[in-house]
Structure 1
């Protein structure tokens, strides 16, 4: 046994042990997953507020209503808290209550086994609701500042855990249609959310209506005769220094108190993080204890001051004056974004403490006309009985006469697609074109994005091209596994469903992984468009979806053995995929000839012949024609240069300049990833032979990849640097294609060779090595096939470029129509 194999075995054996012994998030994940297979605690409710930061808000309101209801006397109540010691006193008055520290084994046990889960934010990224559980989400406020995908400065995937939690939710509690639509749309969840929307009001506002004002004032040591001015700003997540931020808050509160005088008491209520900092300051500012719920404090407040906080929506029902104090409105509204304009707000706005004190001092208590329509729009059902209505419906199925209960889930056929990592390659391009021609009146599409999406990244630019009607489901979380399943999963990934692995519990593991991604969503079809990712291929294969489709983008058996830098990157993934093809209903190649190749090599061997078919990639002729005419050129150093990949960032303009093909030259071009199977090395060597006879020739190689350095070295060794242009990736390659004369494909194998169709669409003559995929196209009279040798390819390049060589005219629009019909027949 060689050293490399011993090393792999040791890693295989030790890695799960190391993860377990570290007692970190992976240890908790293992424990959580173990508890997922244990029986449910039937009469047990887990409560969590603000991710465990406090015992307040909607979760507290629902808890108090449930706890005081005799129908729940046999229930156990579990509260999750980051600091249980701080909350123990507040909860000591209640019976059957247990506090657990968030991020502990006790926490994940109840997260996995409690029958009911109630939160106002989200549970951790490893959360995977069981079918026997009921998940109740009562979001922590009506949005004023933008959230989710609407945040101007956020990444595409910044809301992924919120979206995931919503997809696992059974009951979404909301105070208004505005709140429902804003939250679900901002998390790209509205069409997919399969639970019920309970627009019955904001539960936490019950705390406002039901608290005794005099008792609370006494508890807070506030004289009864004082007029209370509550200053409740939002957490300023755009402040770089929290100490500077809280110092400004305290200074503002102190100055306002001084200006208003002794008849008033200015009470500062701040975010959890800011509270910790202010508690350690030497100040006379009245700081509201963080353990006292904000909504209770609203009842004793004669005036409310806020900025971007949603607290003013909760205050509307009291019909008391609201003031908006903005210190950085332009910056905040630009970076974060706001859903309401200034003139829509239910009270005056100002930017100085002096003006704020003047407004409060001169207040007559008469509200602006726009105040009352806002109550109807944002809090029409807040009457102090919201929690009771929610509980009666969820736990006792009692119909409600006040409010509205409904579903937002689309009635269209839902399709879930995995298409890879959205790199600039042929599979990504084919997927975008396929989805752009879907009938969105009939289908609702979701695409899994399995990676982070940084701002201004290449992945972001590719995603921008997707139809906005597509739901994007971001998932780069690790699959949940028990300790022993770590070994089973790795065996499966390394060996596929072969040998001893067949006896393991793989179907259960991967089905659970599927549910971890999609939650409660019931998809009608799943499509593994990538065809190379063994994880997503497996979760799709073992899902409970009624129709499962996977794609074969090349000669898959040959691709399995492809060598890149001395390794075979596709060997293990495709070995696994071959072993689970039988679980798919349709296995689609992307051309007729590649279908016949895969059929002969895999069909009978794997017992999948009757499932195999083909559907060509969509071309999008209209887009290609339009882009082939869109280009810019400049004269630089007496040379005509084409401008591509233009980017303006931070005042700096960056672009790529490519020498424009001259009509006096014979211009050859190829397009594709710079990788071994594309065999651009053969093309370059053949082109060197072409130059011996036609020295006025040029070769443009469009694309980027791992072989770039190797190809550059070859070009230098052949001394043809001035004849071969490596353009790199081009956002729009079509105008350059159109300016050339002959397209040459030198690949060892292809699925369909979309680049050939693109070249034909812009009117080029085409040559390709004689391989499945291209042969299906070119044998129809559209171009030439050639043996994969330097001599054969060079001779064909010289002969094809001659004017007398004529070929059948390709109609890209007719081709697209045929593909549309083919796709339609496959989907139906």
Structure 2
């Protein structure tokens, strides 16, 4: 009997309808995509293969092993694999090793090619994703790729490749983007293996912010890769491989030089071949090392850059020789900030540190351990290194010649390698496969009592929603809230700049597109069409979205999740199918009006907003940003949610950012004193000691902008800020200002912002003959510089949610004139400003009232306002 009908029947019964409908149609999609982009065809093929694997049964007693993205069978996975393969208790297990194309021709593969229990797959091949999603146990010493989804009946063990001395994750300035896939892997893992408590606390819990979001266990039972440094045959395999490569070590002393990699990130490492060659040659030619063998163990990420250099190859330990095998035959280790020296502490043999770029390296990357804390003498020149080596291998040794460093060695060995004794692999196997945690140091429960909050920030473009989201993150007390910001990865500079303003205490979950994107988009097309046609929601695709949640957040759970954008159904569909308590969505505008708004004859938000409206039933609260707006949305959207779900919470404002951007910061530096202003370079240097360069740039930009846009031509200047789109009705403002100019010809209008109507508005100013008095600045990173130099803030919107820019103008002490849109009164309460009707004549009268001195301004306590708003936020989000 043919298996095809059975397979089809299985897929029909197990794949959600939207995915199946998509897969049936994708042949035609592929043909279209192939003409446009061959990569899209490959993506669709991989998507179908991957989807099949996700809905296949997990195969019992199977293990996938991966090291450094398939760069070899190395490090902790290799050590555990060998111990498990020989253990009679686990003979029924089948093992798959992941190897890259470069690593496929290796001694390891030759060693096990005839073993029926061991197989191999190529990294990121179709077969790779199939075994990755259908094997019961998964081991990795780095990260699985962004497509990986850990299934509930799989056990994932991450055995990271070393105790870090270089700063990791969020401890690196701007490190959130580089950390995104590491964090994703850690949150998915059932077990994280830690060499010591320092690694647990500094890297896992602090560096990657795993407190509260990690639901698995951390094993502190030593490093499996260190097992090979102990025992009667320790280093035997390394000696044999080196002998095959013409390097004889039997009966000789060995100096191993093992520097770490340099570069901007793990993905862009540098290998300084010329400096390496010089150092190795001087060591080899040293009289003190005559009779010694000098070897180089290169880091995995730079090995390929060095292996083809014949002057380095004669020193180079082959990549498929595990580092700890090389350490086992090493009598003196020369290293820098490589974590390899931590493993070596367990041997009790001496270490010399050679860090020629100590200052620049520490400044560029950041370090957990200062040079003065290292357990051995530190050199910055090769001659200094040779002197240290000579002293160490002399009669006195490390303890006598370098007594202070020797004491540090003993202390760090006890702290960092307390369980590296040759049996770490056996203990981890017993914990993971034997399910015996009670007898070992296994830590669980990493909650610290804070409320766990996840916030989807939106598209991260420069607009009111992004500004409000960033302001909110700055106001949430990190002692009370554990906050995770959720947004998509982008190479667009504007989005990256906005992401860089997320406060340091906030965790980032940054979404990269995965292989599931094809069926997810197919599901979205069906969902939004059903919303437009007013059909009932189809829940059959919920498993797809739950898988996407697990891909991004692993096993993490949150007390509350907020969609702070509220404009696209794609993102809330992820977390409404995730491990979330209370679910809340924001409403920044009159959303019915937004859905119906036309631009160039089209309604850009109609389809996506109706999809959002259909999801309202899945949320606990629908939060408008002002009481007035709540009433509007409650009336207009009554068909989609009961009245009690409609609540309000105003937006926060970043008071200090507004003040600083406008040159009105209350922060003072009492150490400034007086400075000689005769030399610009000296002035900038001196100021750089007192203020950050970012602060200096902001202030210099502010003063330049004020001079450029406002000048000192006399007259009063009106300013408005907002996207140049229909709901802001800048055209009414321009026409009203033309009327104002008739009686006050020296007046000026500055329009800050950009948008689809920019060309039309500029042409309008020309046609009215007022272009010389109207300045369009475009989007400004620091609009407050110009605002603070103007005399009156004016807004001509037809509708708004809660216009934060009004509050920002009040922080700067500007009088305010606005049109009577739905939420105007709540933003203007207590301002002393003026609300006018929504027509040109009334707006012109309001602006003239300011020129006549009839529009006042009242003091505004932005800090007190924010405290009230955070209370409102807490009430609506946590109930």
CA contact (8 A) 1:79 1:98 kept: yes
CA contact (8 A) 2:65 2:138 kept: yes
Per the TM alignment, residue 297 of structure 1 is displaced from its structure 2 partner at its CA by 1.5
The within-5 A match list for 1:546-561 is 546-561=581-596
The within-5 A match list for 1:97-496 is 97-151=118-172, 156-184=176-204, 185-210=206-231, 212-213=233-234, 215-216=236-237, 217-218=239-240, 220-221=242-243, 222-237=248-263, 245-246=272-273, 248-260=275-287, 262-272=290-300, 274-276=302-304, 278-283=306-311, 285-362=314-391, 363=393, 364=395, 365-367=397-399, 368-399=406-437, 403=441, 405-452=443-490, 457-478=493-514, 480-481=516-517, 487-493=522-528, 496=531
Unaligned runs of 5+ in 2: 1-24, 400-405, 667-692
Q: Secondary structure at the match of 1:524?
A: strand
The within-5 A match list for 1:496-645 is 496=531, 502-503=537-538, 505-603=540-638, 605-619=639-653, 624=658, 630=664
CA contact (8 A) 1:699 1:725 kept: yes
CA contact (8 A) 1:646 1:655 kept: no
Question: Structure 1 CA distance, aligned partners of 2:816 and 2:268?
Answer: 61
Question: Structure 2 CA distance, aligned partners of 1:274 and 1:805?
Answer: 67
Map Cα deviations across residues 618-650 of structure 1 (whole Å, 9 max, x no partner): 245576567655289xxxxxxxxxxx998759x
Question: Structure 2 CA distance, aligned partners of 1:214 and 1:758?
Answer: 67
1:65 alignment counterpart: 83
Q: Are the structure 2 counterparts of residues 737 and 653 from structure 1 closer, same or farther at C-alpha, using a change threshold of 3 Å?
A: closer
Question: Structure 1 CA distance, aligned partners of 2:511 and 2:819?
Answer: 39
Map Cα deviations across residues 477-526 of structure 1 (whole Å, 9 max, x no partner): 2461576x653343335554856784473322222222222111111111
Per the TM alignment, residue 34 of structure 1 is displaced from its structure 2 partner at its CA by 2.2
Matched, 1:41 2:70: no
- Backbone CA RMSD of aligned residues: 3.6
The within-5 A match list for 1:678-717 is 678-717=728-767
Q: Secondary structure at the match of 2:78?
A: helix
Q: Secondary structure at the match of 1:204?
A: helix
Q: Secondary structure at the match of 2:633?
A: helix
CA contact (8 A) 1:259 1:354 kept: no
Moved more, 240-249 or 613-622: 240-249
CA contact (8 A) 1:765 1:801 kept: no
Question: Structure 1 CA distance, aligned partners of 2:628 and 2:508?
Answer: 33
Per the TM alignment, residue 346 of structure 1 is displaced from its structure 2 partner at its CA by 1.3
The within-5 A match list for 1:807-818 is 812=862, 815-818=865-868
Per the TM alignment, residue 233 of structure 1 is displaced from its structure 2 partner at its CA by 2.3
Question: Structure 2 CA distance, aligned partners of 1:675 and 1:777?
Answer: 21
CA contact (8 A) 1:389 1:400 kept: no
Question: Structure 2 CA distance, aligned partners of 1:514 and 1:95?
Answer: 37
CA contact (8 A) 1:669 1:700 kept: yes
Per the TM alignment, residue 156 of structure 1 is displaced from its structure 2 partner at its CA by 4.0
Map Cα deviations across residues 657-708 of structure 1 (whole Å, 9 max, x no partner): 4444879634322222222321112101110011112223222323333433
Question: Structure 1 CA distance, aligned partners of 2:41 and 2:593?
Answer: 44
Question: Structure 2 CA distance, aligned partners of 1:684 and 1:610?
Answer: 41
Q: Secondary structure at the match of 1:447?
A: strand
Q: Secondary structure at the match of 2:717?
A: strand
2:807 alignment counterpart: 757
Map Cα deviations across residues 82-121 of structure 1 (whole Å, 9 max, x no partner): 1334242133475611111111222111111111111000
Q: Secondary structure at the match of 1:265?
A: strand
Q: Are the structure 2 counterparts of residues 160 and 565 from structure 1 closer, same or farther at C-alpha, using a change threshold of 3 Å?
A: farther
Question: Structure 1 CA distance, aligned partners of 2:777 and 2:695?
Answer: 14
Question: Structure 2 CA distance, aligned partners of 1:616 and 1:569?
Answer: 26
Per the TM alignment, residue 579 of structure 1 is displaced from its structure 2 partner at its CA by 1.6
2:853 alignment counterpart: 803
Q: Secondary structure at the match of 2:98?
A: strand
Per the TM alignment, residue 418 of structure 1 is displaced from its structure 2 partner at its CA by 0.7
Q: Are the structure 2 counterparts of residues 10 and 786 from structure 1 closer, same or farther at C-alpha, using a change threshold of 3 Å?
A: farther
Question: Structure 1 CA distance, aligned partners of 2:517 and 2:777?
Answer: 45
Question: Structure 2 CA distance, aligned partners of 1:669 and 1:121?
Answer: 53
1:640 alignment counterpart: none
Question: Structure 2 CA distance, aligned partners of 1:755 and 1:241?
Answer: 41
Question: Structure 1 CA distance, aligned partners of 2:200 and 2:579?
Answer: 29
Question: Structure 2 CA distance, aligned partners of 1:276 and 1:177?
Answer: 33
Per the TM alignment, residue 534 of structure 1 is displaced from its structure 2 partner at its CA by 2.5
Matched, 1:825 2:853: no
Question: Structure 2 CA distance, aligned partners of 1:616 and 1:778?
Answer: 13
Moved more, 803-812 or 333-342: 803-812
CA contact (8 A) 2:663 2:702 kept: no
Matched, 1:792 2:810: no
Per the TM alignment, residue 321 of structure 1 is displaced from its structure 2 partner at its CA by 1.4
Q: Secondary structure at the match of 1:668?
A: strand
Map Cα deviations across residues 740-762 of structure 1 (whole Å, 9 max, x no partner): 44332111211122222333444
Q: Are the structure 2 counterparts of residues 207 and 30 from structure 1 closer, same or farther at C-alpha, using a change threshold of 3 Å?
A: farther
Question: Structure 2 CA distance, aligned partners of 1:479 and 1:397?
Answer: 33
CA contact (8 A) 1:199 1:403 kept: yes
1:670 alignment counterpart: 720
Map Cα deviations across residues 583-638 of structure 1 (whole Å, 9 max, x no partner): 111111111222122111111x2244332122222245576567655289xxxxxx
Question: Structure 2 CA distance, aligned partners of 1:517 and 1:417?
Answer: 14
Question: Structure 1 CA distance, aligned partners of 2:328 and 2:485?
Answer: 46
Per the TM alignment, residue 722 of structure 1 is displaced from its structure 2 partner at its CA by 3.5
Moved more, 773-782 or 307-316: 773-782
Moved more, 789-798 or 173-182: 789-798
Q: Are the structure 2 counterparts of residues 327 and 723 from structure 1 closer, same or farther at C-alpha, using a change threshold of 3 Å?
A: same
